[in-house]
Structure 1
Amino acid sequence: MLGRIRGWQRRHWRDRSKAERVELQTLGTWYFTAWFFSFAWLALPLVGGLDRRPGPLLVGGLLMLTAALQCAEANRLTRPVLDHYLRRAELPPRALYPAAGLLALGLALALVLAVVGGADPVTTRLCMGAAMLPFGMLYGLVVPIRRFLRHSALFAVVLMAAFGWAEPDAAGIFMVGLLTAFATCFSLFACRCSAWNLAVLWEADRAGEVEARLAVAEERLRFGRDLHDVMGRNLAVIALKSELAVQLARRGRPEAVEQMIEVQRIAQDSQREVRAVVRGYREADLGVELAGAQGVLRAAGIACEVSGEAGGLPAEVQSALGWVVRETTTNVLRHGDAGRCAVALRTEEGRVVLTVENDGAGPSTTGNGDGSGLTGLRERLRGVDGTLEAGFVGTGLFRVVAEVPLSGKAAVREGAS
């Protein structure tokens, strides 16, 4: 499972599923957040509020270096911690030790800065908050929420006592507690809630895959039942009549020929019935496919407009165009990033024209290109003298146009039947 997740990190954005895109966006946000708070709460306040004496400058420089190392370590551990939360992989017990050591160093340097009076109280408190956030974002995903809250409360008491000893000021002590509470809440609501949403999204994605596999299995069972219903009785009759014919032939009775003629007739009937069953599975009803495409695309969050009626068209034309609708809908769902899809069916000048257009195509969207799926559709359409054109008609706009003449092979076969 983990190997499959790792693999999609190297793929193009448009080739990813929605769950993969959301996860990648979430990781990017977490990476940026660690650096943002270190810059806004530590680097900027130190530049403006640090005393220019050698001692405070040295402590401030070490603080900035420690903050950079904290952010780099947090970025390195973000993916393993998320995999641990999503139960893809186990996190080694000591994986957070380096991050915890950098946290302790950052807080110690902020405390030293407060003791030597190297910066104003607000700056030292912000440096303390900036040191807590990178570690809190990781720790909040590793331990249960109650334990995280207990540890945060204990941590707040220790920090308030330490900074209260360094600078005995009620407002400063309160600010330490407030910043600790903010770091705790941010780690829970911004990070853990996002991770929980990801877990729900991946579970829904897996449920969709399971549902699709179950639908295929159910269809196979239905197909098996239909074949059994068609062939079971006929094969039983063929077996009985063949056995009877053998017995009659051994006795030299002329009725054996009649029995074998009957076996031949039943076998021919069985062939026709099997062809009818298979044809029912292979042929696509255009009206059903149009309604199904609209329902599936809307369920996927893609606005879909369908215009035109399939009634009155020859059965083979409906089947061929139904496969076009099915294949293009699959391509929109699988390969594109569409927000809108339009399907239009019209009859003009003795031909039927089906147009499928979506706005989610890109240069790397190979599924919307001239692949084996479209090649198969062209072969189906050639069977009814039809044609298929597919290509880009604008930036990110992909159009498939299928045309079938009403006076072609399909109409001739329809009239003959």
Structure 2
Amino acid sequence: MTSTAAGQPAGWTKMPTLKSFIPFLLVNIHDTIAVLTGGMPLPWLGGLGELVFIALYLATISTALDDDRHDSRTPRLLLAGLAVVTYALAVGYWNHWQMCFPLLSLATGVVLRRDTRLIAFALALLGITYGIMASLRGAHDTTGDIVAAGWGTGLAGMLAANLLNLVESNSALRATREQLAHAAVERERLRFSRDLHDLLGHTLSVMVVKAQAVRRLGPRDLDAALSQAADIEAVGRQALTEIREAVTGYRESSLATELDNARSLLEASGIAAEISQSGPPLPPQTGALLGWVVREGVTNVVRHSGASHCAIEVRGEPDRVHLEITDDGVGPAAGPEMERPRPKTGGNGLRGLAERLATAGGSLTSGPAGRRGFRLVAELPVDDEEGLAA
């Protein structure tokens, strides 16, 4: 038996077809021979009854295995017809066609497999009927044999029903696993696109600002200009490392590192930076999330605000931490690299951060800060045990 990618046997996830139930018709081979050799009364009528039985048996199972027709009335009507022919042959010929009952039981299990109560009643009725008929015919000598015959008849249908239900359940489980795997891939793509947006947006902003500084300082202070150029090289190398880490999913943005980077970027952009942090040490995951907020917020200040002053405040409490970034900007700063206006409701970066914080139980809000400037506020819950461990 072959195995699937999910580690389950392929045979348990593939629905049986009509071909799987055809060999069971061989249980009537003794009576078929009697028809051909004239070993029963009115063999032509018995042969005709057998042909009708076989046709109904195949049609019943075929429609019951068809997902489009299983829930319709057709399989049950065919099953009722099959039951009538079975009882007619068994009663009419009495000593022949008794093995039609196990076949009827199989068909009943296939048709009624999803109806727990009805299938139990139908199979019990079949088993009792077959046992009584076997007793009246004297086909079995002991009560145990009679009970075994009736029990075996009902058990045939129950096994068929349980097997088909198991296959359908495994098939549904496999489909669900595939959907979950697809969703995981989509989440990973979204994570990577967010990380790439945040990384490149911030890094390119830093490089543009420092390149402007090189252009301004070059004519009058060569050493300062060379220092800024060295910073551009360092930022570029760091960006390459961060992108590699983002691809593998191992990168975490430290809050302390991002605050230092924010101060450097703001000062290089000619924006006065005021940064304060208070409260107990933060858990690594909380600090990483807030580090992304600082990176995105400061990048937006540099690119869109035209501000002269930016304040970043991190205020930690025992159960929550509050981060606020405010500036005194009035709109886009002068310069061709800042032609786009500041987003009023948050761009893709802010929306992605809001989703991340919401997943961690926090929130992210942004909007105008009074008559001038812009405010970005992030709040996150703090796990006490994790914070103490940190």
TM-score w.r.t. the length of structure 1 is 0.44
| TM-score for the superposition, normalised by structure 2 | 0.47
Higher helix fraction (1 or 2)? 1
